[in-house]
Structure 1
Amino acid sequence: MTEDRWRDVDDYIAGQLLGPDPVLDATLAANQAGGLPAIDVAPVQGKFLHLLARMAGAKRILEVGTLGGYSTIWLARALPEDGRLTTLEVDAHHADVARANIATAGLADKVEVIVGPALDSLKGLIGPFDFVFIDADKQNNAAYVRAAIDLSRPGTTIVVDNVVREGGLLDADSRDERIVGTRRLFETVAAEPRLSATAIQTVGVKKWDGFLIAVVD
């Protein structure tokens, strides 16, 4: 199996089950025009997050790492009429692009974008949230999960992206801070009695990676 084959399968799934989405296409185009890195979740992953949030019956969603708002839009679309999403972004320019994309998607009334270091922003939030998606700097993933637990209730779903890193997760001697942070994340979750968790490897347009998925007990 090659990466081209992985991409072809993702494209097939998206074509069969997602269909065209001009709003999300425009979001990615705006991100590119704004000079944002192309590190958004894949379309099939966005729909996966959307469905997880719906399955959780989420009315309050927390996202750590907004970028240009692509995953934010997927998640906000899962909310009921009175639902709210809070998303945290460290880069002011990224936040501006995201706000514009979110407004274009017709979701500005449901989404609050907070600018600043996420660990600082998290201290000012009031829970509980029903669903948490973490996709920011990997060095702080363990700290983000600990903060997410404090802002959760029994039954809250926590999802962390990019936890396999093309197998780099296995490298105990790595000096890559993202891998070091990801291994620390697994150690933290494994030792946390309030969480039931697993992780799923993924392949596709985002190459070889995966999600950690946990529920607060």
Structure 2
Amino acid sequence: MYGPSVSFQLSRVPLIEPPEAKLLFNQALMLEFAFNRVESRRNFEHVVRLSPRCALCWWGVARSYSSNINHDIENYTLFNEVAARALAELRPEDGPKVSMMVHSMQHLRVPGAMGNGTKALVNASRHALAEHLCANHTTDADVAALCADALMTTSPWDYYDGPRLKAIMEPAWEYLRRDVSPSRAPHPLSLHLFIHLAEPSTYDLNSPLIGQLAADALDGMVRGAGHLDHMA
């Protein structure tokens, strides 16, 4: 098995079988949360070979082809294909959380005739994804992290108007600040994103070291995860 050894896993989702697929999925997820797209995709694609009827596993492949604060979707043909496959494999027994995650990916699909889409269409799809993931206030740390990630992707590396957080980023700050707390189980994506959201030196924070809370929690959590180790 390639990559970091991890204990983190999503909550309230179906058990992935066989056990090897589950281990590879959790590893792929950690690589994805570290923004290591190439290696996460390699793992996710192996997972769906082991468990081809797993909608959550296909969601993982789709996410590895999707956009984040560092990357745009580079191949819409492949993204459309794997996002559609995730939807096709969705079953009632997968539950509402997986259903929401899989349906959220559909907002990023661009019709084949549109090629890679216009900038306006891409921006609209990112906002639609954020609206879907952030539609209802949640106490679920996974959903909160995905919501924050989607919001930050609508305006990559541009989260402030002068010294003030942009209004659209306020839910991201609320969720991430809530989950970067000793009273909450550490979530690698939340910790990673909060460091980036809190790091601008122009932001008038109550504490200039507020991002250090996330870095301290991340330190040693996922050894071998490359960028996450670097962030800590």
TM-score, normalised via structure 1 length? 0.35
Higher strand fraction (1 or 2): 1
Higher helix share: 2
